[in-house]
Homo-oligomer: A and B are copies of this chain.
Amino acid sequence: MRDVAIIGVGMTKIGKFPDRMLSSMGREAVIAALKDAGVPPKEIQAAYSGTSLGGALLGQRIFKDLGMSGMPINNMENACSSGSSAMREAWLSIASGLYDMVIAVGSEKLSALGGGTLPLEKEDLEVSGGMVMPALYAMRARRYMHEFGATPEHLAKVVVKSRRCATKNPQAQFRKETTVAEVLNSRMVADPLTLFQCCPMGDGSAAAILCSLDKARKYTSQPILIKGSVLVSGRFDNSFRDMTTPEITVRAAKQVYEMAGIGPKEVSLAEVHDAFSIAELLYYEALGFCARGEAPKLLDEGATEIGGRIPVNPSGGLISKGHPTGATGLAQTTEIVWQLRGQAGARQVKNAKVGLTHCTGGGIYGLDHGACSIHIFTK
């Protein structure tokens, strides 16, 4: 299979836009990506549109009013990994030689659902009994604190870092700095996770234009290579075996590092799935940025700050940039592309050469199984 590059990205601001149509947000991201790539719509040969709760034929609803009707449009869903799943299929469609230029877009309007879910059937006994996402992550947090001596302050510091980054990101949902005390004093959601430690409900869209590397240089002097693209399924709620090891992420990480021929020590920066404060700490370890139990130390040392050894979530991450589920994978990609090009403004990571994006989740139905998708990008 051949090399694939990203030649354009774009995204909306993330926030609550109940009066705005989801497809309109999708169009804004698509237009931004087309403009960024300098590609006319007619050169796009196929589209992959990701959404978790945005409803049927979202791709068609986005593209029809852009004069981009005719091409194959696939609508993809994989809970929180919907956008990254769309990107992986777009990658495959070019890597295979089937197409030369393809767009991936991810979009979500969680405000339209009022924070609810769309259960067709209740299949999960534990979730019916209360094991919803904040409860699951709260249990993980408690166990992690017990095993490795992390404190509530460590959890709060993840949020403080996140907000600090987001003040530098015009696309972010929350852009006001916070303090450890403010985080810990915010309303308790699921002990020890307070409100500020949970990612917000949000709306938004992001898009990326993928192109075979051999044609990419026609459009840009800065193609961003997709060196690794991995999707796995598995038990998302691993709580009955080892609560502090997100097995699905560990497995996907192993696969993507192997595929890219790049190890965790070579990663310049990462956008990881910090749906809750504890999640970021667990994923430091699962992605190999530090050893088991050493995430609090990594955080305390400032290694994951924008100026640190391995900056994590310079965009503000899910907790502050926001988490419109189906858009997240492509919003992460947009951030990494901007960073690798040196276009990230006040939050620019110096010498950014290798970027990683990580999405994982299940549980739109609270399902104990889910998906994890990791991508590795290089200049």
Contacts and interface: CB of A to CB of B under 8 A. Distances in A.
B22 A121 contact: yes
B1 A55 contact: no
A135 to B, nearest CB: 19
A98 interface: yes
Contacts of A64: 235, 367-369
Interface in A65-104: 69-79, 85, 88-89, 92-93, 95-98
A365 B73 contact: no
Contacts of A365: 55-57, 61
Nearest to A58: B77
B77 A56 contact: yes
B362 A96 contact: no
Nearest to A73: B233
Contacts of A59: 233
Interface stretch (A35-43, A112-120, A343-351): A112-120
A123 interface: yes
A23 interface: yes
How many subunits of this chain does the assembly comprise?
2
A349 to B, nearest CB: 30
A220 B346 CA distance: 60
Contact of A63 (B54, B118, B233, B362): B233
A85 B71 CA distance: 13
Interface string A270-288: 0000000000000000000
A69 B234 contact: yes
A231 B77 contact: no
A329 interface: no
B76 A75 contact: yes
Given A60-B367, A60-B370, A60-B371, A76 B76 contact: yes
A76 B74 contact: yes
Nearest to A69: B234
A364 B77 CA distance: 17
B72 A251 contact: no
Contact of A55 (B75, B112, B118): B118
B72 A367 contact: no
A370 B96 contact: no
Interface of A: 1, 21-23, 52-57, 59-61, 63-64, 69-79, 85, 88-89, 92-93, 95-98, 109, 112-113, 118-121, 123, 230-235, 251, 362, 364-365, 367-371
15 contacts: A21-B123, A23-B121, A52-B56, A53-B120, A56-B118, A57-B365, A61-B367, A61-B369, A69-B369, A74-B76, A74-B89, A74-B231, A76-B77, A95-B98, A113-B120
